Every structure is written in structure tokens, then in C-alpha cells.
Structure 1
Amino acid sequence: MHGYVELHGHRGARGLRPENTLPGLAFALELGVDALEFDVAMSADGELVLTHDLIVSPVTSADTGTAEPGDPMFPYVGKPIMGLTLPQLRTLDVGVRLPQRPDDVFALTQVPLPDTRMPTLGAVLGLIDALGADRVRLNVELKSDPTRPDLSADPRRFTELVVKELDRHDRLSRAAILSFDWRILEIAKPLIAERYALIERDTMTPAWMNGLDLADFGADFGADFGADFGADFGAGIPAAARAAGATTLSPDRELVDETLMTGASRVGLPVAVWTVNDPEEAARLIDMGVSGIVTDYPDRMRRLWQSRGLPLPAPVTPLRPVDA
């Protein structure tokens, strides 16, 4: 028997609808998820917008025209989010995936929604209020790269603005702050109760981990860091995340093994693993004791939950069709 395992919709439901969009988030809620995960960055004029990339992506975004005649910043695709204003970003069509590789599986499974615009965090919170999705936790990932300060907002100002917007919509008790940039976890600690330490192989360095070194937490990297880690490697990650101020550890699925799970249990951190799209893999991870599965395909996972007798999050009934 397993306890409650949470189902998290990744960027809404990225495998089914355009990521980080109002219709995509609404679709995930209509399917039924425990937590709705999405990404936030800051624009040049200090607006909080939904985007996974700190540079406007040619995969998820397409230029449609200029915000003003003769705008020297145009085209906007390929420009830093932090270098563009909200009016410029709102000209982008973010409703059609434009794959750069033929093996882009999301382009095959994602329903295109042309003329969808990049939403603000405030618009998302307003939509969720309107839908009455009060029980769904909002997992807000703050996109910040400490190795690229030219692309990243000041972490304190950024974190405080996100928390202020969540508070304005009475959402602080039903939200979590997530980041690979662990400086944000420290800043968020006195501001919000739930904080997720995101981690993958590329971010297991002091630069990303707010100065923490995994070697100081008993991590054995073995002879070749990045390939075969030593036996005690996984135990160091949860201990470091706890020290950084996390209340949940959220690792890349490739990092999850019995050692990591034991280490997480030892320091009292639940583990929400990303991004898991294969139900067989999800079943194995559930058997290992993870507390949450982050997925691009909530529909697949709901079928798995049902087959295993796990409690299913209730779908949110839409009040009316959601416009982009």
C-alpha cells in the first residue's frame, strides 16, 4: 500500500496543449491534477510572464509583428525575455510548437492553439480563481540562471514580486516556489511555506546551489563526475537541499535511486520527481516511495493511478471555454 502520491501537471500539460499558456493550464485542471507547475520570468518592464526559457524560444514562440512600428528590437524570437517589454512579448504566438528536430515528440501529441499569447502570472491567478480551482497547489518555478546574470532578474526582487502577486490573489497557502537557483530558496524561506529544490546533473555545483558543495554533505562523486557517481552520492543531495531551505526535493528522474530516497527520508524531505511520461517508470518510482510525479501527460498518469487504486485528484469543471 502507498500513501497519497501527488500528480503534477508539467507546464500545464505540455504533451497535450501548448506549455505555459492559459488554455494549457486550464486543460490540465480539467483533466485533474494535484499541483499545476508552470514557469515564470521577468520582462524588461518588471512584469511576471510565463515562459520556460530566458531567451525567447523558436520552438514555443513565433513572431507575428512589432509592438510599435519600426521597433528596433524586432524580431523578438531569440532575444532575452529580460530585454523585452510585456507589449513586445504579447505579440508572440505561443500556441503552436515549432520543432527544431524531427523527433520532437511533443509536436506530435500537442494540440496546436494558434494565436495564443504569453500570459502574465496575474492572468493565470485570475483564471484559476475564476475556475474555482482552490484545492490545486500552484508550483511556480522561478526561472533564474546564476551563471547568466545578464539573462536573469535580481533574485530577491524577482522572488518578492512573485510572492506579492501570489499574496494579492490569496494564494500563498496553496502555492510553492520552485527553482534550480537555490539562492531563491533562501530568499523565499521567510516568505512562503513550500519551497522545492530543483536539481539536475548540470546544476549540481556551488554556483547553482547557493554556494553549497555536495562533497560537504557526504556525496561521493566517484572517479568521473557526470558519469558514474559513487555509492554515497545520492545521500548528499537531499541533505544539501534541506540546508538550502527546501521543504521538498524535486530531482531529475535520472538522479532518483534507492540511495537518494533513503537520504531524503533521513532528512525528512518528500521527493517530487520530474519529468516522468512513461507509466511503467512512474509505477517504479511510486514503489520507491516518491511523493509526487511531474508529468507532461496527466491523462496517462491518471490511468496509472486508477489501475493502482491511488486516490485521483478531482477534475476542475470549466465555467466556459477558456480564451487565449
Structure 2
Amino acid sequence: MRMRQVESRLPLVALTNYDFLQVGQPGASPWLGGIDIDDFGGDPIRAIRSFGATTFSPVQGFPQNGTVTDSAYRPCVTRELVRHAHANGIKVVPWTVDDIPTMSKLVDDGVDGIITDYPDRLRTVLASHGRRLPQAYASPFDVQAHRGGRATRPENTLPAFAHALENPAISTLELDTGVTADGQLVVLHDRTVNGSHCADTAPVRPRDPQFPYVGDLVRDLTLAQLKTLDCGSRTPADHPRQVAVPGARIPTLAEVFALVGSSGRTDVALNIETKISPLVADTAPYQIFTRTLVREIQRAGFTDRVTVQSFDWRTIRYARQLDRRLETVALIWQYGPAECTTAADECSLRAVYGDPTVKSLWTGDLDWWRHHDVGALVRAAGAGTVSANWQVHDPRQPVVASADWYLRQNPAYFHGPQVAVLQDRYRLKVVPYTVNDATVMQRVIDLGVDGIISDDPDLLIGVLIRNGLR
């Protein structure tokens, strides 16, 4: 009511619940702005007209979480109330309706809208009633297919990326890169050839002393040697829906760029990781690695469609020095005192959880113990996005034991500030990884993140649809 006094042109919505509208209560209700509903004969429409509201938004019925299928259900919104409201120029938009039978009843009553936690259900009801659906909007939520979406196709292969490109709800292809002995950028996750994904076929030439290649460092093998590997026949047990693609080869980054370019998906971005460690010298040096990547991005004309990400922040800082147009992502792997006991555990912020004398090498010359703030640290690295294991961002997690890194929880895993502060104060995007559980996806969405990296983008998209984000 006072809002109208401040700005007379502002449309007002009168929210209320069932109890506040009952007659015979002593005195005026503070929840109704000092109005006594008895003065209006118990008519909420007359009451809200008295202070200029244009929309009535009551709870849909009583009990508050009840549905029309409950025997004790009493509707607050009826067809007669809606007609009365419309006759007085008032719209009716009840809250919060999450079940299809009650939605259907309210649509039949003629309401002007429904507030719901499940917009996908409401769209289904509207379609079944022959109503014209409101036009869908382009959600800014970033769905990143981790390694191309390895839940359904062999990771980091052209078939995986092609499959992801067929899904218009996927907005980003996430992938990993390495540099070969002959200076070529290839797409694969590990710094060595991983035998759980790839299998030797034949040497690139007879009696090649380096054959078999599985288990060798990528930096020690040429592109031709790597191209002999079959990385599509072996399907991992932890991804039972993955469809084998026998004969799929390790692609070059140039081949991935060409695939995306020919797909017509000008809306798809690429999030490219440099697989490099500051702890061991088992890849091309970070300057050579980064220069090779930046040149390849520039050559393909993808500068405005990629982000460069790394756990080794030396590469993202150097990438920005080489080309200020490039957006970078600071990757973080951080857990608690049980997981971060030595530098070999590779924790990004606190190398040894409680020991500030042991500095993490992953953040370059930046030090968590100086900042104690993820936002300040990431901004100092020049990145525009932070991608951490999701637990880093959840301040209210309980203790949950699990062998799965992405299901375990502990309050010690949180490293602030909270997501909203990272976004508002530091102007950072927050895109956690690697979330493959629907319950955790919902929890992370509720944190307010900008996107999620997942092996299973189809599962993620289903959760997003339920939230009205796709």
C-alpha cells in the first residue's frame, strides 16, 4: 500500500494467505496493511481495490500445501471469485501450485496465471487445455557437456561432440587439450594415454620402439602415433548408457573447431582446458602449451566463442597476456583436512589444509592464505569465471561420507564468499563441476550458479526444465 504512495504508476500485487481473509477476526490485520476485511463484507476484491492493487495473488487453497484431491481441501480461489475479480478489473494469480490436478482446476476457473515451482507441469496443463503457451525465453543458464557428454558417448571424441551439438539445450562443449611431441593440439583428458578409454591397434610404422602407446605421455608421442589409438570401443562401467563408437580417434582441436563450424550451431561455446600440472614436468612447458592453444584459437576464428580454463593458473594468466580478448576460467579443486594433507593431493587453495606455510602451486604466485577469498583470488588471476567442485560454494552442507568426490560433503569444503557475492561484488560467473546427480543438480541450481558442467547434460536439462530454465 505504501509502495503506491512512493510511485503511483507502479502496478501492485496483493499477496495473502487463507487465514488473513477470514471474517470475524479482532481488529485490522497488519498483513493486510491495516485493513479489516470485515469492513468489506469479507470481500477481498473490494478490499484490494480500495488501495489500487491490480492483481490478487492468494494462496490457492487450504491447507496451504493441499491439493484438490485432498478430502479436507478448501479452495481459496473459485470460479465465482475469478469472475468477480475480472468484473472489477482485477487479475487473479494464485500461489504456489505444484500439482497437475489443482493446476487444471484453476485453469478451468479462469485464473490469469499461476505461481509454481514446476513451470514444465504448468505448460503441460495449458497445452492440454488448448491454451496458447507463453513464448519460451532463452535461458542464460550454461549447460556444459563435460568432455562432450561422456554419459552417452566416448569422451572427448568427435562422435561425442557431434552428439552434443544435436541437442539445442546444450550451450557449451567442455573439453581437454594436450600438446604432442610434434607440437599439435589434441583433445584428451589425461597427460598420459589412458587405457581405460583408449586401446592400441597397431604401430604407426613397423617395429616402432614406442609401441604400445597406452600409458605413454602425450608429449612423447606424435599426432600420427596418437591417431592409431581406438578411443571409442571401451565403455566405462560408471557410464552404463555410453554408446560405443568403435574406431573413434583422438581428435585435434582444429578438427573440433571444424566440426562446430560445420554444424551451424553459432550459439555454442567451447570451454577448453589445458591439461598441465605445476607439480611435475610431464607436458609441454606452460608458455609453449598456452601459446600453441592461443594460436589455434585465433587461427580458427573462435576467439569470441571460447573460454580457456585450467587448474594451473599460470596458463590462464598467460593466455590473457597473449590475447586480452580471451575469456578465462579459474578451475579449483578443494576439499577439507582429510583430503588435503600434502601438496601431492593437488588441492588448489589450501595445499595442506591447516598449514599456511605450504603454498599451493596451482594458483601461480597468488596465495589463498593472503586473500582468504575465492573472489579476490580469481579476480587477481584475471579470470571472469570460477569453476570449482560444487562443495566449495555451499556454506550449508552437512557431513556426508561418500567414495564419490562429488557426493561427499563437509562444512570444511566451503571456501567463501557465497555465490551471490562472487557474482555481485566480483562480477564473476560461477559454473561448478562435475555434477551428475539430479538431487545435487537441484541443490547447486538453488545456490544461484550461472551454469553446471556435467557428464550427463540430458539429466541436467531435465532438472532445468523442471525449474523453468530450459
TM-score bracket for this pair, using the shorter chain length: 0.7 to 0.9
**Contact 1:239–1:263 at 8 Å: present in 2 too?**
no
- 1:203 is aligned to 348
What residue number does 1:129 align with? Answer: 261
Could you tell me which residue of structure 2 aligns to residue 105 of structure 1? 238
Q: For 1:171-198, what per-residue CA distance to the aligned partner results, in whole angstroms no more than 9, with x for missing partners?
A: 1001110100000111011314310000
Q: Which runs of 5+ in 1 are unaligned?
A: 219-235, 313-324
Structure 2 counterpart of 1:114, from 246, 251, 263:
246
Aligned to 2:160: 24
Q: Deviations over 1:9-60 (max 9, x none)?
A: 1000111100000010111111231111000100000000011000110111
The match for 1:307 is: 466
Quote how far apart the aligned CAs of 1:247 are.
0.7
Rounded Cα–Cα distance in structure 2 between residues aligned with 1:137 and 1:83: 30
1:59 aligns to what? 196
For residues 326 and 222 of structure 2, the distance between their equivalents in structure 1, rounded to whole angstroms, comes to 31
> Which stretches of structure 1, 4 residues or more, deviate above 3 A after TM superposition?
none
- Structure 2 match to 1:162: 293
1:87 aligns with 2:87: no
Paired with 2:387 and 2:364, the residues of 1 have a C-alpha distance of: 16
Tell me how far apart the structure 2 counterparts of residues 118 and 18 of structure 1 sit (CA, whole Å). Answer: 10
| TM-aligned CA deviation for residue 263 of structure 1 | 4.5
**Secondary structure, aligned partner of 1:273:** coil
The answer as to whether partners of 2:272 and 2:308 remain within 8 angstroms in 1 is yes
Aligned residue for 2:166, secondary structure, equals: helix
Matches within 5 A, 1:158-307: 158-190=289-321, 191=323, 192-201=325-334, 202-204=347-349, 205=351, 206-218=360-372, 236-258=373-395, 259=416, 260-265=418-423, 266-307=425-466
Q: In the TM superposition, what is the alpha-carbon distance from 1:280 to its structure 2 partner?
A: 2.0
- Counterparts of 1:274 and 1:162 in 2: how far apart (Å)? 22
Residues 58 and 77, structure 1, Cα contact 8 Å, conserved in 2: yes
Q: Does 1:35 align with 2:172?
A: yes
Alignment check: 8 A CA contact 2:235 2:243 kept? no
Q: For residues 64 and 249 of structure 1, what CA distance do their matches in structure 2 show? A: 39
Q: Are 1:147 and 2:258 matched, yes or no? A: no
Deviation at 1:262, TM superposition (A): 4.6
Matches of 2:221 and 2:391, distance apart in 1? 35
Residues in 2 aligned to 1:217 and 1:243: alpha-carbon distance in whole angstroms: 10
Structure 1 residue 77 and structure 2 residue 77: aligned?
A: no
8 Å CA contact retained: 2:420, 2:448:
no
Q: In structure 2, list runs of 5 or more residues that go unmatched.
A: 1-116, 118-138, 335-346, 352-359, 396-415
Q: In structure 1, what is the equivalent of residue 70 of structure 2? A: none
- How far apart in 2 are the matches of 1:239 and 1:65? 50
Question: What does the per-residue CA deviation read over 1:71-127, in whole Å, with 9 as the maximum and x for residues that have no partner?
Answer: 00011000000000001100000102354xxxx412x12111111110000111111
Kept after mapping to 2: 8 A contact 1:8/1:298: yes
Distance in 2 (CA, whole Å) between partners of 1:135 and 1:163 is 21
Q: Which residue of 2 aligns with 1:322?
A: none
Does the C-alpha gap of structure 1 residues 79 and 257 become closer, same or farther in structure 2, counting only changes over 3 Å?
same
Q: Secondary structure at the match of 2:308?
A: strand
Letter in 2 for 1:194: E
Aligned residues: 288
TM-score, normalised to structure 2's length?
0.59
CA distance, structure 2, for counterparts of residue 254 and residue 83 of structure 1 = 36
SS in 2 for 1:41: strand
CA–CA separation in structure 1 for the residues paired with 2:294 and 2:264: 20
Contact in 2 for aligned 1:5/1:286 (Cα 8 Å): no
Say whether the 8 Å CA contact 2:310–2:316 is kept in structure 1.
Answer: yes
Give aligned-pair identity as a percent. Answer: 39
- Residues 204-255 of structure 1: per-residue CA shift (max 9 Å, x gap): 343111022211012xxxxxxxxxxxxxxxxx22221111111100001232
What are the Cα deviations for residues 274-305 of structure 1, in whole angstroms up to 9, with x where unaligned? 00111221121111110011111111111112
CA contact (8 A) 2:371 2:377 kept: yes
Q: CA RMSD in A?
A: 1.7
Q: Partners in 2 of 1:242 and 1:62 — Cα distance?
A: 41
**Counterparts of 2:234 and 2:377, CA distance in 1:** 37
Give the letter aligned to residue 460 of structure 2. Answer: M
